[in-house]
Chain A
């Protein structure tokens, strides 16, 4: 299957700082990438959908100024958590779709801890 690389796998930061998470499709061009948030023992919560070269579409209740998404190329999307606070601590996962079918491939996730 297709490979999606996500970095970093974990990050600890101080409250008020910004954190950037990268998601790369290594062996295919990802026309669409998705960002999810997951709390312990809960399912995936879709935060936003990004298409290469256009603005991301955010789900209801997700602050677009808080979670900045950039999908500048067909292989890279970034999520920046701005002015992070302890309540932003969570497991963030990206996924990518090839553009030819519905198969969705996931990154390995990023555990964010805000102190």
Chain B
């Protein structure tokens, strides 16, 4: 079983729809949770960063962490064609210089005009 599971998609939704992206994990020690967006042939871009449980909102993006269920989500409101990309969840345990960040496999998202 992978430490982090993420549906690879592809996920296709019409412009303006609300998008829900999710990851599950098995390591209860994870405390830091991140979402990255990656366009084709580009490096990932940090979208959201959350520590422990709860919600965080930034513009059209909302990140949710439910540690009791070991489940994290990223919601995109009023989706735009420019949101079409691969979205990677990432997480790590208590911080140290040697701690690894574990990535999900990524979900490919396509927003139809």
Contact = CB atoms under 8 A, between A and B. Distances in A.
Interface in B33-78: 34, 36, 41-46, 49
Given A43-B88, A103-B46, A104-B34, A109 B100 contact: no
Interface residues of A, number: 28
Interface residues of B, number: 24
Contacts of A102: 32, 34, 49, 92, 95, 99, 101
A93 B106 CA distance: 16
Nearest to B92: A102
Interface stretch (A11-19, A44-52, A67-75, A77-85): A44-52
Given A41-B108, A103-B46, A49 B95 contact: no
A1 B36 CA distance: 13
B90 interface: yes
Interface in B80-108: 88, 90, 92, 95, 97-101, 103-106, 108
Contacts of B108: 41
Contact of A108 (B42, B88, B99, B100): B42
A60 interface: no
A93 to B, nearest CB: 5
B97 A109 contact: no
Interface string A93-115: 10100010111111111010000
Given A32-B97, A46-B100, A108-B43, 8 more contacts: A34-B101, A43-B88, A43-B106, A44-B44, A91-B41, A104-B46, A106-B43, A109-B42
Interface of A: 1, 4, 6, 31-32, 34, 41-44, 46, 49, 51, 57, 91, 93, 95, 99, 101-109, 111
8 contacts: A34-B101, A44-B88, A49-B98, A102-B34, A104-B46, A104-B90, A108-B42, A111-B41
